């Protein structure tokens, strides 16, 4: 009996890590910001309630206002959200342009 060796065909690559420099730093910062459960909850909240103020988020979460403010700062710095001061409050919403960029980069990599 002759053994037939199956042909080895490499499957197409599913992923590409063709990213570096400032784009990689930006992407990593965005992933890090979402990696915190409280910040992820804030993002979920803002999806359904764009234009809310800090007080709305404080009422939703079981943490102090100062802690919420710190999480909002991280999300702003990572590019996930925007905030505009309106009188004594800051109004927040998702940064759609940066979210589109993030989805595009993740799609290119994975």
| Domain range summary for the chain, segments of one domain joined by + | 21-109
What was the pLDDT predicted at 109?
Answer: 82
Break the chain down into helix, strand, coil percent, rounded to 5: 55, 15, 30
Phi, psi of 54 (to 5 degrees): -55, -45
What was the pLDDT predicted at 101?
Answer: 96
What was the pLDDT predicted at 108?
Answer: 87
Q: What digits encode the pLDDT tens for the residues 42-97?
A: 999 999 999 999 999 999 999 999 999 999 999 999 999 999 998 888 999 999 99
Give CATH for domain 21-109: 1.10.10.10
What was the pLDDT predicted at 19?
Answer: 83
């Amino acid at each position: 009996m002759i053994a037939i060796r199956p042909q080895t065909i490499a499957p197409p690559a599913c992923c590409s890590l063709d990213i570096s420099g400032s784009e990689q730093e930006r992407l990593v910062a965005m992933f890090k910001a979402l990696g915190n459960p409280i910040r992820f909850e804030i993002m979920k909240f803002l999806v359904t309630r764009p234009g809310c103020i800090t007080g709305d988020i404080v009422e939703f979460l079981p943490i102090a206002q100062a802690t919420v403010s710190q999480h909002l700062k991280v999300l702003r710095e990572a590019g996930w959200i925007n905030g505009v001061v309106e009188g004594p409050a800051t109004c927040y919403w998702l940064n759609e342009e940066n979210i589109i960029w993030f989805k595009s980069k993740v799609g290119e990599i994975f």
